[in-house]
Amino acid sequence: MILKRDLLGALALLAALVATASAEYALARAAGYGQWVAGCIPAALDVYALRAFSVKRDVPAVVVALITTNALAHLVSSHLVPVSVPLVVAVSAIAPLVLWRVKALSAPVSAPEPAPVSVEPERATGPVQRPTAIPAPASEAQPDELLPKARAFAAEVHSATGKAPSLRALQAHLSIGQARAQRIRTQLA
């Protein structure tokens, strides 16, 4: 819990949330929200802020949202900005936007999909120079010890689908990484 780890940090966070909440509440009231429903605007923004801070994502966006709503609230209360249609629309958009972002923050972050790997070897138009760090082609390298298991799996997949197994299917079936699956797939050809 945050209180056990950092009492001063928790107090500063609580004070900041109360200070921003009062301005956000005033802005919602100025935009036409009722007395009780207006409290949902600061509550939604504060929950969004706490979620963003806890998962360490969306932090700049939530800080900008808090600063903007507070600035607008103070500008409206000091009569420097009139309550207008765009302002009411902007305040009305807060709850749906917070709903969307909090839902997005509750989803796990997934790694981007790797680019597909070509099955066909590329044909060189000129002399090929191989760096010494790259392993020799399958014809020169020793066959992988999983090659018999991979051949059986490839035959099974081919009989079911008429296609060779994908690189991901090989990785999953053989419990190996992408580089090794690529080498095995080359040896299968």
Please check whether residues 78 and 26 belong to one and the same domain. Answer: yes
Q: Extract the tokens encoding 20.
A: 């921003």
For 40-85, the pLDDT digits (tens) are 999 999 999 999 988 999 999 999 999 999 999 999 999 999 999 9
Q: Provide mean pLDDT across the span 172-187.
A: 86
* Structural domain includes residue 133: no
pLDDT over 80 at 7, yes or no: yes
Say which amino acid occupies 179.
A
Number of domains in the chain: 2
What pLDDT is recorded for position 156? 87
φ, ψ at 87 (rounded to 5°): -65, -45
Q: Which is higher by pLDDT, 107 or 7?
A: 7
Tell if the pTM clears 0.75, that is, is over it: no
Q: Which of 77, 106, 135 is the last residue of a domain?
A: 106
Please check whether residues 74 and 160 belong to one and the same domain. Answer: no
* Structural domain includes residue 15: yes
* Structural domain includes residue 137: no
CA 81 to each of CA 27, 86, 87: distance values in angstroms, whole numbers, following the listed order: 11, 11, 9
Dist CA 34 CA 136 (whole Å): 73
> Structural domain of residue 15, as residue ranges?
2-106
Dist CA 48 CA 28 (whole Å): 17
Q: Which is higher by pLDDT, 141 or 7?
A: 7
What DSSP designation does 115 have?
Answer: P
* Structural domain includes residue 71: yes
Which one, of 176, 186, 184, lies nearest residue 150 by Cα? 184
Please check whether residues 92 and 157 belong to one and the same domain. Answer: no
